[in-house]
Amino acid sequence: MTATRSVLAAQATDFPRWFQDVISKAELADNGPVRGTMVVRPYGYGIWELLQEAMNRRIKATGAQNAYFPLLIPESYLQREAEHVEGFSPELAVVTHAGGKQLEEPAVIRPTSETVVGEYLAKWIQSYRDLPLLLNQWANVVRWELRPRLFLRTTEFLWQEGHTAHASAEDARAFATKILYDVYRQVMVDVLAIPVVVGRKTRRERFAGAVNTMTLEAMTGDGKALQMGTSHELGQNFARAFDIGYLSSEGRRELAWTTSWGSSTRMVGGLIMVHGDDNGLRVPPAVAPVQVVVLAVKDEAITAAHAIADELTAEGLRVTVDDRADQPFGRRAVNWELKGVPIRIEVGPRDLAANNATVVRRLRDSAKTAVNLTELTAHVVNAIEADQTHLLAEATARQTARITTVSTVDEAVDAAATGWARIPYDAVGEQGEDRLGESGITVRCLQRPDGGLPVEDNEPDLTAYVARSY
């Protein structure tokens, strides 16, 4: 399978280039015509759809309901929350003309929807009976990026953004935390097979307008960190700015407490960067648009290939037949490998003569195993399940191996050259964050000694995870 190597940069040589190559050769996405935008091709979108479905189901299980808020937000809305506007102003895309005329008030394309949702929460919430109000939307947002990169940082991206209002700070915190663990971590670990370190952002890394940002960080194949999702306690900042109030059960008017939380097409970038290898993409079975490809090596095997596929499809697997027997077999095999399809079944006249098929497990060692046709379906069903688990175990082992425990900022800088550093936050502090920043390194998140979430910025004995990041 050295043929693939010629089409992809090697990970060890140039990881970012390898990333771009995979996206292009596996037909996941293309650059859009407006700088920084992205065209998601069917194979990439198929992964996103399955991921979205897994996420959406878990979001609904928390009691949140989907809704849809407008793309265009009056510019003045952004200005109502001081930190929010400061954080997002440099990234806004502004509509100044529409319907052939200059607009009286320019409209911005949403970079996120706290402001417009805030306006409606204020309208819809009257009494404590209306709380908690739990909303989510699947939408596109636009943030003008200086250094765009497909899937990771695109000018337009697809995401879900949740917005909730609660009667108390405790309730808001509990819900934001539930999303973090029961929705985001579950999807990342159980569905994407990506281990994540969960923690609290430092003050400087916080979402613009939040009092607390919680994050899930994944380790990429080159030892950097990738923020996979965030959940924010917004305190009463937006409630104050948009007057989201309610009448308490005692008849007093109170301000609500709000949260917001988001996860995006960036997760697809994470999947590529965590699981990919020098031969291309490796897609976890749970989000693989094609879980099994059955290749007919020659014309004589086409009927058998379809019969095998039918049996696997009947088991609920997502199966494709590649019966382009007039095209070179080697190139077809390499292509499916590049696309990271978990199981490849090769059927040729020789296999059939022996009542066998050849099974290749992309997520393991890609060795070729002859499997008797009578056992094939059971074999594949087991392999799919085992390989989802294997992928997670592999990523977890690498993550563990590449986190170094250190005690000074200098050591952290060294360790972050090839992986992550774990360091007492007391040895870093805001000053240490400045020094790390000079080397392009950031504190990714803070954890309590037991791995739990800090509730305040200044808790003692916190552990900081420190890394370069995408």
- Among the candidate windows 14-22, 99-107, 371-379, 400-408, which touches a second copy by CB under 8 A? 99-107
Per DSSP, 149 falls in state B
Looking at the DSSP bridge assignments, the partners of residue 199 are 215
Residue 393 interacts with which of a second copy, Zn ion, none, CB < 5 to 8 Å by class: none
- To a second copy, the closest distance from the beta carbon of 316 in angstroms equals 16
Burial class (CB in 10 A: 0-12, 13-18, 19+), 233: buried
307 lines the binding site for a second copy (CB under 8 A): no
State which of residues 156, 233, 337, 394 lies at the interface with a second copy (CB under 8 A): 156
Nearer CB in complex with a second copy: 97/252: 97
For residue 57 the two structure tokens come to 């189901």
- To a second copy, the closest distance from the beta carbon of 95 in angstroms equals 5
- To a second copy, the closest distance from the beta carbon of 111 in angstroms equals 11
Distance CA 217, CA 185 (A): 10
Distance CA 167, CA 236 (A): 11
- To a second copy, the closest distance from the beta carbon of 137 in angstroms equals 8
Per-residue interface string for the shown chain with a second copy, residues 111-130, x marking contact by CB under 8 A: -----x--xx--x-------
Mode of pairing for the β-strands spanning 356-361 and 343-347 = antiparallel
95 lines the binding site for a second copy (CB under 8 A): yes
**Taking a C-beta distance cutoff of 8 angstroms, is the pair 175, 162 a contact?**
no
Amino acid at residue number 370: A
Which DSSP string corresponds to 381-440? HHHHHHHHHHHHHHHHHHHHHTEEE-SSHHHHHHHTTTSEEEEEGGGTHHHHHHHHHHTT
394 lines the binding site for Zn ion (CB under 5 A): yes
329 lines the binding site for a second copy (CB under 8 A): no
23 lines the binding site for a second copy (CB under 8 A): no
- To Zn ion, the closest distance from the beta carbon of 25 in angstroms equals 21
256 lines the binding site for a second copy (CB under 8 A): no
State which of residues 6, 13, 146, 374 lies at the interface with a second copy (CB under 8 A): 146
Backbone phi, psi, residue 319, to 5°: -125, 140
For residue 337 the two structure tokens come to 């490998």
Per DSSP, 91 falls in state G
- To a second copy, the closest distance from the beta carbon of 59 in angstroms equals 12
| Contact footprint for a second copy (CB under 8 A) | 30, 32-34, 37-42, 45-46, 48-49, 65-74, 77, 89-100, 107, 109, 116, 119-120, 123, 135, 139-140, 142, 144-146, 155-156, 158
